Structure formats: C-alpha cells, structure tokens
Structure 1
Amino acid sequence: MPHVVTRSCCGDASCVYACPVNCIHPTPDEPDFGTAEMLYIDPASCVDCGACVSACPVGAIKPHTELTSSELAFIDINAAFHTPPAPRPVQAPVTPIRRADPARGPLRVAIVGSGPAALYAADEVLKQDGAQVSVIERLPVPYGLVRSGVAPDHPDTRQVTKLFATIEAEEGFSYHLGVDVGRDVRLADLLAHHHAVIYATGASADRRLGIEGEDLPGSGTATAFVGWYNGHPDHADLAPDLDAERVVIVGNGNVALDVARILVTDPERLARTDIADHALEALRHSAVREVVVLARRGATQAAYTLPELTGLLARDDIEVVVDGDLCLDPETVRRRAAGELDATAELALQAVESLPPATLPRGSRRRIVLRFGAQPRRILGVDRVAGIEIERTQVRTEDGRAVAVPTGEVEQIEAGAVLRSVGYRGVAVADLPFDELTGTVPNALGRVEVPGVYVAGWIKRGPNGYIGTNKSCSAETVDKLVEDFNAGLLPAPTRPLKDFAALVRRARPDVVDGTGWRRIRRFEQAWGERDGRPARRLVDPARMREIASSSRASLPA
C-alpha cells in the first residue's frame, strides 16, 4: 500500500482534490463524508504519486514505508474502509465556486468567531475578487478549539494552524481580537459596515447529567479540564483536585480519551509539549493512577473514533484495560456472525477485545479502564466528590437502534473526581433566534431568518464532525451568501469599512489586530524554544494584549 492516512487526519478533503485517481474517500459529495471518522486511501488504486502528502494540512498522510510502529495499524484501517471495493468515478467531482457579481462591488463580510469554521469561511469569501473579511473574536487570540481543545500531545493535529496562518495572510483579511460581539459591538454595527455577517461561534457549553451530586466540588466538565491544560483564559484558574488515585469520566468520546490520557501520561513527557505551565506543575504533583471511562451502551456504540483508540493503544507507557464485558447489542452480534459488520467497526471491536481485563493486578504503569454498560445514578460525597454510583445496563435493539436498559444492579466506584464528557451544546447568540432543543441558531443551509446573517460550524449544525468537516460546512454557507448577494438581497453597507476599525477601537482600545496576534504567537514560540518546547502558553488576556501592543516584549526571566 503506497500511502496511508494516519490518526491526525482532519478530514478537510484537501487531499481528495489533489489525488489524480480518486483513491481517497469518502469525498465531500458522498453521503458518509459528514460522519466519517477520517479519510481513507484505497490501497488498490493509489498510484504512489504523493500529491496528497503536500495537500494535507496536518501531515497525516505518509508512504507505508515511513510509518512508525504505532502507525502500522492504519494500513489495515485504510484498507478496511474500501472492503469490499466500490465503483468510483475517475476523479472526485469538484463543486464550482459561485462568483459574486462584480457590478455590485467588492463583497464585505464580518465573521464572528475565529475557529476552524470561521477561518474556512473567511477563505471561501476571499476567493471572490476584491473581497474583504473582518474576523471578530472575544478572546485576544484566535483558532478556537484548535488552540484550546486539541490535546497538547497531539501536535500533528495542530499543524492545521499553518493553513490558518496562510488564510490570515490573504489580502482583504483583518482581525479584531478581544472584542465581544453583543457587548462591545452589536450586530447592527457589523451590518452597517458589511454586506453580511457569518456567526461561527461553535458550541461552548456542556450538556449536564442531571443527577444528584453533579455540583459537588470535584465534579466538573471535561471541557473545562481541557481548557485548563490548554491555557484557555476562561479556565486557567480551574485548579482541579488531583490528590486521589482514581478519576471517573462519564462519556467515552475523543475528548474523554484525551482527558484520560493526559491524566495518566508521565508529566515529563508532557513537558516537551505546549501544555499550560500551571497544568504541567499540577500534573507533576498528581496522585492519579487510574482513570475509569464510563459508557452507558456497548463497545459498538463507543463515541471515540477508531483512529483515536488506535493511537491510545499504541502507547507503551499507559495500560488500557476493560472492566466487564463489551455489552454488545443483539443486532451487532447477529451482523457479526453473518459477516455483515462494517469492516472498520470490526477492527474497532477486535482492538477492544484484545485488551486485558481490569481484574488483573495493576502494574507499574498508570492505566485507563474502559467500562461499558454503566449508567451514572448519582455522584457520591458530602463536602466533595467521594465516588459515583452506577447502574449496570443491558444494550438492546429497539426500532433498529441500540438502547441502554437499566438492570437494577447498582455499584459504587470510589473516586476523587468525576468529569462529565457527554457532549457540547451551543449557547444563545445576542440578537439572533435560538433553538434550545438543538442548541443551534435556526437556519436553512446557513441562512438565518435575520436578513444578512448566516451561520457556519457547530452553531449551524450542532456539535458533530471534525476540524475539517467545517470546510465543506462553511463553503455551503458562503455559497448561499454569494447567491443572496447576487440576487440583491444584501443591502450595500452604509458605512466605509475603515470606519469599522475605528468603531471597534473606540469600544475596545486594547483590541488585538493581525500584527498583535503575530507578536503573541512569536512570543509564545520563542518562550517555548528557550526551554526546548514548541511554545509556552500565555493565559492572561491582559498580558496577551500587552505583548500584542509592543514590538519589543521581553521573555520572562
């Protein structure tokens, strides 16, 4: 197999269009693109040209001869997706870019947010001749979850920031960082200076468990914990209690695995990353030796992806075990016996089945325990968390779906902390309608009922997909925006764009522009390089703004 897609795949499909023989799937026009865990190269049709390697923004594609020992499993993972082989066109169809009517003048768009969806949207808008984009972000630094959500021991995934830097350098792009839309400036201000506004604000809230003890000290969210170890200003003061030997995480998606992995990783290994200094120091004094990851249903329904599981199992410094059985639902058992189970799902099951049981004596390594068929009932403790009470579940098939059915068997697990990781949720946006049920702004292919307003990313479609999924999502939104622009549905701005920067600076004299952001980035990198690290994180917004405003900021002693 000449080339292989590995764990860090962001799924933005840049490689798909670079491939001359259409051997990388799913493509954006295929129905499973939005739900695919990664992209996969067909070993039978790859011609070893290497075009995909240079197109990939995160370095996820390698010749099979250059795979590390921990990446060899991806040979089978790539091949499994293409088993059995499916008929494909000679080349992946490319959706043509809708061109803005030049008679209406250069297109001007404001984008609220600066994560992947926002920057992919900016890139799409700037494909129009003379277009201008103003990106407004609440924090003094951009990149959203790529900066504050990707685990520090996954630097390959963060390589997508190189693409973001290229977008930032495009003519017509401008940053207004540290500006809160809805407080410092209003939607009306944005529309007065732009033809349209795209909100790409993500989904920053957490879903709750709704059980007793959820608000006890020591009970928290994986999202806040991730923000804490990544130096997000909103969570830098979290100060989690790591004095107990066991932590329980409710939920078993990629974020849960990230948190579990960071908790049991040797801090000196993390010292070679850009993890926040305060988190590194706390982890050096941590007593945590075991993290239990709870799932209500079975291994087949696990929310983590096969690439993330494979990466975890390849670690030789962490022990991964299974507590109890895999709680397979009857339909999975039937399909597996009949040879009808999806090949990648079969690989995932085989990987979990190969794990040792938790009943074996604990070795010298710290460990992660996967526990399936366990529903949280209440969090135990008086003044703080002392454990969690769970109820065993059986996984049944009802109306074609696997559902967890309580059995009445109750068990208590001692733990010093409980973190919930059961999904993100969008929060209401000032001046826009909001659907409380879905946690999104109601929209039709990105169009919002408010004239001139659009949405992209998780606030548009809910918290699903991966970093690169936002590329096609944002492209769809911008296509509808340009269609409306050409139809005369977007009134021309009443104020010149240069007045917008002045308006923002009056509201926020300490606003950080593109030059300021580059100063912050260079400072963090130089600070890290001095200590043999890729970067060291600034966490104080005031310090960020100070460095942004000075061309001669000196490193700490």
Structure 2
Amino acid sequence: MGPGGACWRGGGVPRGWRRWLSSSAPAPRVAVVGSGPAGFYTAQHILKHHGGVRVDIYEKLPVPFGLVRFGVAPDHPEVKSYGAEDNRVLGIPGENLSGVYSARAFVGWYNGLPENRDLKPDLSCETALILGHGNVALDIARILLSPLQLLRKTDITDGSLAALACSKVKRVWLVGRRGPLQVAFTIKELREMINLPGARPVLNPADFTGLENAVKDAPRPRKRLTELMIKTALEKPGEKTVEAQAAAPREWELKFQRSPQEVLPTADGRRARGVRMALTRLEGSGDSAKAIPTGDVEELECGLVLSSIGYRSLPLDPAVPFDTQRGVIPNSSGRVEGVPGLYCSGWVKRGPTGVIITTMNDSFDTAQSVLEDLQVGVLDVSTSREGFGAVESILRSRGVRPVSFSDWEKIDAAEVARGKAAGKPREKIVDPQEMLRLIGH
C-alpha cells in the first residue's frame, strides 16, 4: 500500500472480541506498507471491525503520514490529506532543461520532503508556467504568489520561505490541454485563488462566452465551478475590487486548449526560456472530451516551468504484478490479482486521483476485502505469525535500527518547539540524519 521502511505496531481490542481472543486461535497479523492516509485508513477499518487482528505499519522515512505531511500545501493544514512515488513525464524535448521541475518535486521541496530538500528552484524570472489544471497546480501558483506574511504563519520550511522571499516571480500562467469545462480543480481552491491578496486573476472573456447554457444540466459541483469562472471573467467587479486589482503587484491567468510541444532553451542551451504550445480543439464534450492539435502553435515566454500533469506509482517488486500503462497494481476491490493474501490501497490501487475522502473510502473498501477473506477462511490464520518480531530480527542482522512511534513523537515535539520559537505551527526537520541524531540513533 505504499513505500516501506521503518515500522511501529498498532492494535485495539474492542470489548465484543474478548471471548474470541481467549480462544486458542492465533491472532491474525496484518502488515501495512506505507504510513500515508491509505495505510492508516485501511489499518483503522480492520482494527475497528476485527478486534483480534494485530496490524504492523511499515514506513521508509523516519516520520509517518505520507502526503498528509508532504503533499498538502502548508497553508491548507485542514485538508492534510505505497503512494505515488514518481511523476508523469511530459515526453517532450527540453523537459530536462534547468528551470523545469515536476510538481511533485516542487511540492516536496516547500513541504520538507527529505528527497527534495536540495531542489533549489531558480525563482529569478518574472513569469512561471504551470502545466495542469488541478488542485496541485493551484496550490503551487498560490505558494508562488502569496504574500510572505501569510506563508510565515504556516509550516512551510525555512529554506523555502527564504527562497520565496527573494523570488522575482510576479506572473503565473496555468495552462491546460482542454477547456474551462474540463478543469480538475475544486471550487473552494479556485475561490481562494481568486481572492488571494495582492494577486489579480486574469480570465479571458472569450473563453467563457456562451458557457452558461453548456453547464445548465451539468452536475452541481461542475456547474458552480464554471459559474464562478464565468463571473470572474465576464462580470464587472465592484469599485473596491477594481482598486485592489489595479494595485496588485502580481497576477495569474488560466490558459486553455494548449498542449506542450517543446520546452525552448536559452541561447546557451542550458535553461528554459519558454514553451512551444500546440493549440487544440475539443472533440466530444464533458470530462471525456479529447484535445486534438489544430496545427497552429504559440510560444509562451517563461523562465520557470512546472509540470503538474499527475503523479505515478512505481513497481514494488518483480513478484507483485504491475500495470505499467496505468501505473497501478491490478486488483479487484484491493485484492491483488494472482497473489492471495496481498492487497493494495490508495493511489497504487486506483491511480493518482481524488482527495483525502476518496482515499478514505477506497481504503475502507480494501479493508473490507481483508475482513471478508478472514471471515470465510481464504487467509490461513491457523498458525501463529511473528509479525514485526520476525522483521525486527532481520533488520537487526543487517544493522538497521527501526524508528518507533515514540521516537516519532520526539521528532514531532522538537519540530513543534522549533516552530513555536519562529511563530509557526512547526518547523519541519528535512534531513533524515538529523532526525536520527535527535532520537539517539
């Protein structure tokens, strides 16, 4: 269910299961690999409905919670939502030039993900271009354009805050292959972006003319989202809004029906100076509409390119089946095809879509499969399993000392104390070696 590594043990015993536990049957053991939302929700559901089970959760980092800690924007703590360890590549010339970053790496950088702590993105240009029309793209645009006094109150890392304080970026383009009716962000995030202090929204009225009729019968969330864009694009703002927007030092713009063809290099061939876009037309309607190149192209000048076209899971082990096309483990309700006793949950199960509530329900579905298989005898629990006891001895023989949950609590307390001193909720430690020193490893 996720990338694996360090571990701790969990298990609750509801009153109704006391009699079951007193029988001679050994307690079933479940190992959850990955301590992100999918892992925790799966464990929670199993423990809640089968008090005799013991669950061990394994995590590769010294700190738990996956995307809840590392994937959600620091100014959105209320939604801190084997995750997707990789990002989808653009597959176009120039995407490896300096100044081009994946959304995953950029988000990891400002959220303190250890593997991205040395990213050092160059923010010396005036215009940034984000490829993608999802919530992650909006998150990045908001972080790039937010007033520093707002970011200082969050748990954004100190190094990222220092870099953003020196940033020259004052214009962000959010570019998508399809049209306004296919954007993937949600209304709450869009409204927050429209109301961002010091940043002016730019929506081309021509993109939205006549769309009122097209969304009349659309599902309510899509209808409300489109109506908000139409209002922003077509309605004349009030006097106060006009004054605020005129004084705004920064701006962001939604651009539609453009597909990236090539990241254009500077004269020395080292850095990005822009992106050549193929203009597209839409075939079909609604979410299934396809973007078809028209043959026309356009060059957008920018010095920072961020690709937010989706995350991607990686194969776990040759013994575990993996669909390389879809980037998921083939499964039925979380049961891994052809490998009895192995289950998957979260993005490696269904692909990198949805928000935290989607992952919760998806994890409960997988957990229900485990519970059903325990109940009907598909899983052999007749003999006692050692669980973490066996893993611990293997780790010890390799000189690996795992981080326990109480160790994590020491790291947590240290981060909160450092944050308090700086007037923030926490100051994340981004170096795993420093984390280990802190707990005496």
TM range (shorter): 0.7 to 0.9
Q: Which residue of 1 aligns with 2:422?
A: 531
Q: Report SS of the residue matched to 2:359.
A: helix
Check whether the contact 2:199–2:251 (CA below 8 A) recurs between aligned residues. Answer: yes
State the structure with bigger RCO (CA 8 A, min sep 6), 1 or 2.
Answer: 2
Q: Report SS of the residue matched to 1:150.
A: coil
Check whether the contact 2:278–2:296 (CA below 8 A) recurs between aligned residues. Answer: yes
Q: Which residue of 2 aligns with 1:232?
A: 113
Which of these residues, 277, 301, 309, is aligned with residue 414 of structure 1? 301
Which of these residues, 133, 145, 155, is aligned with residue 77 of structure 2? 155
Distance in 2, Cα, partners of 1:224 & 1:520: 23
- Note if 1:340 corresponds to 2:255: no
- Note if 1:118 corresponds to 2:39: yes
Check whether the contact 1:270–1:280 (CA below 8 A) recurs between aligned residues. Answer: yes
1:52-102 deviation line (CA, Å, top 9, x unaligned): xxxxxxxxxxxxxxxxxxxxxxxxxxxxxxxxxxxxxxxxxxxxx999976
Query: What one-letter code is carried by the residue in structure 1 that aligns with 2:256?
Result: F
The aligned runs of 1:288-307 (5 Å cut-off) are 288-307=169-188
Distance in 2, Cα, partners of 1:206 & 1:327: 31
1:404: Cα distance to partner? 1.9
- Note if 1:517 corresponds to 2:394: no
Query: What one-letter code is carried by the residue in structure 2 that aligns with 1:511?
Result: P
Distance in 2, Cα, partners of 1:399 & 1:223: 27
Distance in 2, Cα, partners of 1:268 & 1:213: 35
1:406: Cα distance to partner? 2.1
Distance in 1, Cα, partners of 2:130 & 2:205: 17
1:303: Cα distance to partner? 1.1
Q: Which residue of 1 aligns with 2:7?
A: none
- Note if 1:210 corresponds to 2:99: no
Distance in 1, Cα, partners of 2:286 & 2:153: 49
1:469: Cα distance to partner? 1.6
The aligned runs of 1:58-69 (5 Å cut-off) are none
Check whether the contact 1:520–1:548 (CA below 8 A) recurs between aligned residues. Answer: yes
Distance in 2, Cα, partners of 1:302 & 1:154: 20
Task: Pick closer, same or farther for the CA change 1:324–1:245 going to 2, 3 Å.
Answer: farther
Distance in 2, Cα, partners of 1:98 & 1:468: 29
Check whether the contact 1:321–1:356 (CA below 8 A) recurs between aligned residues. Answer: yes
Q: Which residue of 1 aligns with 2:65?
A: 143
List gaps (5 residues or longer) in structure 1: 1-96, 161-200, 551-557
Q: Which residue of 2 aligns with 1:259?
A: 140
Q: Which residue of 1 aligns with 2:149?
A: 268
Q: Report SS of the residue matched to 2:92.
A: coil
Which of these residues, 542, 550, 553, is aligned with residue 433 of structure 2? 542
Check whether the contact 1:296–1:372 (CA below 8 A) recurs between aligned residues. Answer: yes
Task: Pick closer, same or farther for the CA change 1:482–1:507 going to 2, 3 Å.
Answer: farther
1:239: Cα distance to partner? 0.6
Aligned residues: 407
Q: Report SS of the residue matched to 1:404.
A: strand
Check whether the contact 2:28–2:385 (CA below 8 A) recurs between aligned residues. Answer: no
Which of these residues, 451, 455, 466, is aligned with residue 344 of structure 2? 455
1:5-47 deviation line (CA, Å, top 9, x unaligned): xxxxxxxxxxxxxxxxxxxxxxxxxxxxxxxxxxxxxxxxxxx
Q: Report SS of the residue matched to 1:376.
A: strand
1:242-292 deviation line (CA, Å, top 9, x unaligned): 010001011110000000110111223211111011111111111100110
Check whether the contact 2:323–2:329 (CA below 8 A) recurs between aligned residues. Answer: yes
Q: Report the TM-score when normalising by structure 1.
A: 0.69
Distance in 2, Cα, partners of 1:107 & 1:311: 47
Distance in 1, Cα, partners of 2:286 & 2:301: 36
Distance in 2, Cα, partners of 1:100 & 1:259: 53
The aligned runs of 1:100-119 (5 Å cut-off) are 104-119=25-40
- Note if 1:372 corresponds to 2:256: yes
Moved more, 421-430 or 483-492: 483-492
Q: RMSD of the TM alignment (CA)?
A: 2.6
Check whether the contact 1:100–1:107 (CA below 8 A) recurs between aligned residues. Answer: no
Distance in 1, Cα, partners of 2:286 & 2:115: 42
- Note if 1:496 corresponds to 2:418: no
Task: Pick closer, same or farther for the CA change 1:500–1:324 going to 2, 3 Å.
Answer: same
Distance in 2, Cα, partners of 1:112 & 1:272: 33
Which of these residues, 106, 131, 146, is aligned with residue 53 of structure 2? 131
Q: Report SS of the residue matched to 2:207.
A: coil
Task: Pick closer, same or farther for the CA change 1:416–1:308 going to 2, 3 Å.
Answer: same
